[in-house]
Amino acid sequence: MDNVTGTRSPAPEVDEHWMVNRRRALKWLIRAGYGAFALAFALPALALRALSQQQSEVASGDPLVYASNAGGGTAGQPVMASDLAVGDGIQAFPQGKDDNQTNLIQIVRLGDGEGAEGLVAYSAICTHLGCVVYADLNQDGNIACPCHNSQFDPTAEAEVTGGPADRALPSIELSVTPEGIISVAGRFSGPIGPS
């Protein structure tokens, strides 16, 4: 009502352009909500699918390559038996299979010898919580884990000599090709990492 004349004022005109834009925006928001809802279900499904994809595993005959630029080698280059001196420890992956961390192998030369003689190899994944052990042996000649200081004796089938790990590192047999490249000659003796 008009306060001066006491008559009713006409209803304000509605801007139809504003109503159309408002409806469009509301429809867009609803569609975005549906999309977000669908995405919330799709992402976990895709993640599970990726986890279940086949990962390459260590197999007999796989040549080993350096995992890093340590121990006198270059990452990705073949590990030669002659590269390791007594007391040396290095880490290697089967060639082309470094996509699976559980393939990491700890190689230690315990004594002189030709071919695979004097070499031992174990999983480089600690049996306590799954950390990667140090490539170099510690001052006691043991394989040590940086996470909780579990220690494994490479001269005694990688038995636990200290720390919270409750079982030895699984071993794996090695062979050496005529060219002197260290390769895998079997499978791990037990489960990798924590059990």
User: Who wins on pLDDT, 48 or 156?
Assistant: 156
Q: List, in sequence order, every residue forming a beta bridge with 115; answer none if it has no partner.
A: none
Mean pLDDT throughout 10-24? 63
pTM for the full predicted model: 0.71
- Residue 144: CB atoms within 10 A of its CB come to 21
pLDDT digits (tens, 9 = 90+) for 184-194: 999 999 999 99
CATH of 64-184, one of 2.102.10.10, 3.30.420.40, 2.120.10.30, 1.10.10.10: 2.102.10.10
pLDDT computed for residue 178 by the predictor: 93
Confidence at 29, pLDDT banded by 50, 70, 90: confident
pLDDT computed for residue 114 by the predictor: 80
Q: What is the DSSP letter of 132?
A: B
Mean pLDDT throughout 10-18? 59
pLDDT computed for residue 148 by the predictor: 92
Confidence at 69, pLDDT banded by 50, 70, 90: confident
Cα→Cα distances 28→11, 24, 42, Å: 30, 6, 21
pLDDT computed for residue 116 by the predictor: 84
Highest mean pLDDT among 30-39, 62-71, 157-166: 157-166
Angle formed at CA 8 by CA 7 and CA 10, multiple of 5 degrees: 135
Among residues of the chain, what percentage have pLDDT more than 90? 58
pLDDT computed for residue 72 by the predictor: 73
pLDDT digits (tens, 9 = 90+) for 77-122: 999 999 899 999 999 999 999 889 999 999 999 998 888 889 999 9
* Contact (Cβ atoms closer than 8 angstroms) between residue 78 and residue 63: yes
